[in-house]
Structure 1
Amino acid sequence: MKIKIISERSDDLINQLTNVWEASVRATHSFLSETSIQEIKTSLPKILQQIPNLIIAENEKPVAFMGISHQELEMLFVAPEFRGHGLGKQLINYGIKNFDVNKLTVNEQNPQAIGFYQHLGFKTYRRTETDDAGNPYPILYMKK
C-alpha cells in the first residue's frame, strides 16, 4: 500500500475518490438518508479540489483518502473491503507525523469512528446538536 500527497487532482482521480467515499459512507453512515448522500456526493468533487492537503492510500487505485486543513483532519474514508486492516491508522499516523494533525470532528451517530479515534488517543472536548450545514447530525469535536 502506497500513501502519497496529491497535488494534481484530475477528474479521474476525483471520480475514484468519490466512489471510495460513497462506498465508505454507505458502510458506516447508516444515519444518512439517500437524499443526504446524493447531496453530499454532488458537492464532494469541489470539496476534494479545495481541501489544502489531500492524501491517498492506493493499491493500484485509491482505496482510502484523508483531507487535512490547519492541523485538523477534515475527512477520512476507507473503502469497505480495506476497513479493519490498519489503513485508517496508517493514514492518521501519517497525518500526525507530516501535518501535525491534532484535532478532528466526527458524527456522533458513527460509533465505530468515535471508538477508532479514541483508540488513537483523541478525546471529545465539545459537542454540537447539528453539523456545519445545520443538519440534525450531532458532531463531536475531538483533539489529542
Structure 2
Amino acid sequence: MTQIRPATPADRDALLAIWLRSVRATHAFLTEADITALIPAVRDGALVMLETWVLADEDGQSLGFMGLDGAKLEALFIDPGHAGQGGGTAMVNHARVLKGPLTVDVNEQNPNALGFYLAKGFVVTGRSETDGDGRPFPLIHLAMNA
C-alpha cells in the first residue's frame, strides 16, 4: 500500500538520494561528472521550486517523487528497488487528476522512459537537439490528449 503526499522540506535529502540512485540506474548517457554537476540544480532548484509530490510506503518511507510546473511533469523518479511496481503509473495518474492533460520532456537516450510515457497515452509532439540548459542531451517532447 502506497500513498502520494505533498513533499516537505524534511523530504529533500531522501528525494535527492532517490534521484541519484534512479539517474545512475537509468541515465547511462550521463557521466558521473554530469550527475555531480546536476546535484545543485536538483537539490536547490527542482526540489524547492517545483510542486513536488512523494510516493511513500505504509511506513512513510519515500519510494519516489514527481515535480510539476503547472501541467508539465518536470520530474518523475522512482527508487530503482521499487521500479516496475506501479508507482510511476500512480504518480502520473495523480498528476492528471490534479492538472488535467500533462506534458513531459524525456531524454532521447532514455528509451525506457519514452516507452513508459507512450504506454500511458502520451504522444510525441516534437524534439529538441539539446536539453533545457543547452547540453547535448536531445529531448523528446510529449503531451497527453485531453
Where does residue 22 of structure 2 map in the other structure?
Answer: 24
Q: Which residue of 1 aligns with 2:100?
A: 100
C-alpha deviation, 1:101, in angstroms: 4.4
Query: 1:132 — aligned with what?
Result: 132
CA–CA separation in structure 2 for the residues paired with 1:120 and 1:89: 8
Show the counterpart of 1:3.
Answer: 4
Q: Do the aligned partners of 1:73 and 1:101 also contact (CA within 8 Å) in 2?
A: no
5 Å matches for 1:114-125? 114-125=114-125
| Cα gap change, 1:81 to 1:88, in 2 (>3 Å) | same
Match of residue 57 from structure 1: 55
Q: How far did residue 98 of structure 1 move?
A: 1.4
- The CA distance in 2 between the partners of 1:38 and 1:86, in whole Å, is 29
Please give the secondary structure, in 2, of the residue aligned with 1:88: helix
SS at match of 1:85: coil
Unaligned 5+ residue runs, structure 1? Answer: none
Q: Which residue of 2 aligns with 1:110?
A: 110
Amino acid at match of 2:15: L
> Could you tell me how far apart the structure 2 residues matched to 1:133 and 1:35 are?
16
Tell me the TM-score normalized by structure 1.
Answer: 0.94
- 1:3 partner SS: strand
Aligned partner letter, 2:69: S
TM-score (norm 2): 0.92
Is residue 2:40 matched to residue 1:42?
yes
Superposed counterparts of 1:67-106, under 5 Å:
67-106=67-106
Give the secondary-structure state (helix, strand or coil) at the position aligned to 2:9: coil
The more displaced of 98-107 and 128-137 is 98-107
Query: Any gaps of 5 or more consecutive residues in structure 2?
Result: none
**Structure 1 segments (4+ residues) deviating >4 Å:** none
Tell me the CA shift for residue 43 of structure 1.
2.1
